Amino acid sequence: MNLTYPALPGLLDRRRGLCGRTSALGHLRRDGNLAKKGAEIIWECLELLGVEHVFGYPGGAILPAYDAMTKYSVHHVLVRHEQGATHMADGYARASGRAGVALATSGPGATNMVTGIATAMMDSSPVVCITGQVGSALIGSDAFQETDITGITLPITKHNYLVTRPQEIAPSLREAFQIANSGRPGPVLVDITKDAQTSSCEFSWAASEPRVRRSERKSVLDPANLAAAQHLINHARRPVILAGHGIILSGAENELLALAELADIPVALTLLGIGAFPAGHRLCLGMMGMHGEAWVNQAVQEADLLIALGMRFDDRVTGNLETYAQSAKKIHIEIDRAEIDKNVRVDVPLAGDLREVLGRLLPGIQRSQHRDWLARIETSKRESAARDIQNLPDRGHLYAAHVIHDLWRATCGDAIVVTDVGQHQMWEAQYYRHDKPRTLITSGGLGTMGFALPAAVGVKLARPDAEVWVVAGDGGFQMTMAELATVVQEKLEIKIAIINNGYLGMVRQWQEFFYDRRYCSTPLLSPDFVKLAEAFGIPAFRVHTREQVIPALRAVRQQPGPALIDLQVEQQDSVFPMVPAGADLHKMIRRPTPLFERVPGA
């Protein structure tokens, strides 16, 4: 049907510019305005918002949207479980910095998203979830596949909407994207009733501009606090920068580098901060916290100044709050005011966007040197090296830490690694040295097992040219391995390394340390992952010894499509050092070494 359009030049120009399409599907109403079905408005908006990929699963209440989808340019990825859709959208967002979009039907489709939404909430990841809802007349009647998803997701979203009229679709969706991306990012859910999708209304992009709800609480920095922070930094003798996810979210990597180099301050990273500061830099300490290296946690405990940047003093980072960094003054720069003074009382709070605040801070920072302080950290680094598994003989065992180290060497540190949750995740954080932001994608706050494989789908679509590796344990991989089919269907070149120790390794480690080695429900039977991968048409390899690792990595990297390695690693290895939950940060359990301790059986 060819139509001449009424005067809506702005809208049409923008559409042409974005997707090169000129045919719209609305019909002219008698008054000459462009009327569209709600289902079409969803896709109009997604196109105009620049969305390229949507991860979803169809079902009754979202069918009108799926029916309209084929007419639009947005690429839809059919997932195998809605949890996968949310992790994919999350992975896409973390790798690209742009909001990821997940789509599902009402009821079970929506509730399956809950874990992925909570994951995105805890890690400040911009995800927009669109769910179908039963017809508005049926809401509250316990209709088939009805669930109160806005009620369920209220505490795990930044905001959510129940949309019952087509007129509300465009403003709600646009506002959802704005909220997901602004300030401290996070997930937003838009629940759209079936009748809102099927009925029509006039659609105008210009008229659906999101509301300006309140004056943006701009970072009006207290000049006194700014000066106080500069003074503390200029006069510190043992300063440490604690860099978190906020650096990456704000794009403040250069400002961080400038601050560290100018004032000669070592940088400790949170798990999600990894990549915010180059691992190869002389001032990079590595990860802090429960599985942080000894020299990092010791430096934090001995510091006289902590400069916390875009991090939230999580319990996994601080250990016992009573004894945490007692001699240190603390500066906290954070966009979310609700994080300030939450866990750790700070001396100088600066609320605002990191890049902006650091930009204001830097001109008042004097060039200084902390030779003694850095030398002291270096000594403790050398002492730790004697316990480092890298420097211990493997005695024919295959250690996960060695595997990660080999993966780092084989990929020249250039891969994007998407990890699952558990021991392998900590070894990855310790032994894969990330120099660039957004190259470690991992579930930190919620610790969601099953995250890696689906998240990698989103990562690969966001960064098609990057080498993307999944590093997962045998436990977590089995939680979402159905998404292998999605990987194959989408022809995505994702490489998968399963760190297979036959246990739910991190839980086993806790049982070993804190539950008298009663390994209850942690030994784990797995399928033959090589055969499993082959059933999906994915070439796969198995590795038992250290010598086989590099050749297998080479073989996998040479495969044109997805490929998998099942790495049969040492069963009862543990992640060291470890600060037991709630213990003092400097009281960590170290890896036993024949140089210092008598190790039974060593």
Partner 1 sequence: MPERREQHKFVLYVENEPGVLNRVASLFRRRGYNIESLAVGHTERPDVSRMTILAGVNEGAAPRVEANLYKLVNVLSVEDVTFVPSVSRSLALIKVEAPQESRHRLMEVVRAFRARIVDLSLRSLVIEATGTESKIQALVDVLRPFGILEIARSGQVLMARGREGQAAPQSSIPAELCLEHQTSPSG
Contacting positions for partner 1 (CB under 8 A): 10-11, 13-14, 150-151, 154-155, 158-159, 162, 171, 179, 205-207, 209, 211-215, 217, 336-338, 340-342
Least Å from the CB of residue 13 to partner 1: 8
Contact between 121 and 158 under an 8 Å Cβ cutoff? The reply is yes
d(CA 60, CA 199): 16
Name the 3-class secondary structure at 243. Answer: strand
Contact between 386 and 595 under an 8 Å Cβ cutoff? The reply is yes
Which residue reads 């796969």 in tokens?
A: 540
Name the token pair of 325.
């960094």
Least Å from the CB of residue 14 to partner 1: 6
Cβ within 8 Å of residue 60, ≥6 positions away: 105, 106, 132, 144, 145, 194
Q: Which DSSP state fits 200?
A: E
Least Å from the CB of residue 77 to partner 1: 29
d(CA 348, CA 361): 13
Least Å from the CB of residue 25 to partner 1: 19
Count each helix (H run) and each strand (E run) in the chain, helices first.
24, 21
Spatial CA neighbour of 292 closest among 429, 182, 118: 429
By beta-carbon proximity to partner 1, the closer residue of 310 and 450 is: 310
Among left, alpha and beta (phi > 0; psi -120 to 50; other), residue 417 is beta
Catalytic residue annotation: 82, 144-145, 194, 506
Strands (E), 222-379: 239-243, 267-269, 284-287, 305-309, 329-334, 348-351
82-113: string of b/e by CB count within 10 Å (b at 16+)? bbbbbbbbbbbbbbbbbbbbbbbbbbebbbbb
CB atoms within 10 A of CB 477: 28
By beta-carbon proximity to partner 1, the closer residue of 11 and 418 is: 11
Among left, alpha and beta (phi > 0; psi -120 to 50; other), residue 350 is beta
- Measured CA distances, 459 to 192, 351, 453 (Å): 27, 31, 10
Q: Which DSSP state fits 141?
A: T
Amino acid at 330: K
| CA angle (45, 46, 47) in 5-degree steps | 90
Name the 3-class secondary structure at 331. Answer: strand
Name the token pair of 554.
């080479």
Q: What are the percentages of helix, strand and coil residues in the chain, rounded to 5?
A: 40, 15, 40
Least Å from the CB of residue 151 to partner 1: 8
Least Å from the CB of residue 159 to partner 1: 4
Name the 3-class secondary structure at 53. Answer: strand
The enclosing H or E element of 473 equals strand 468-473
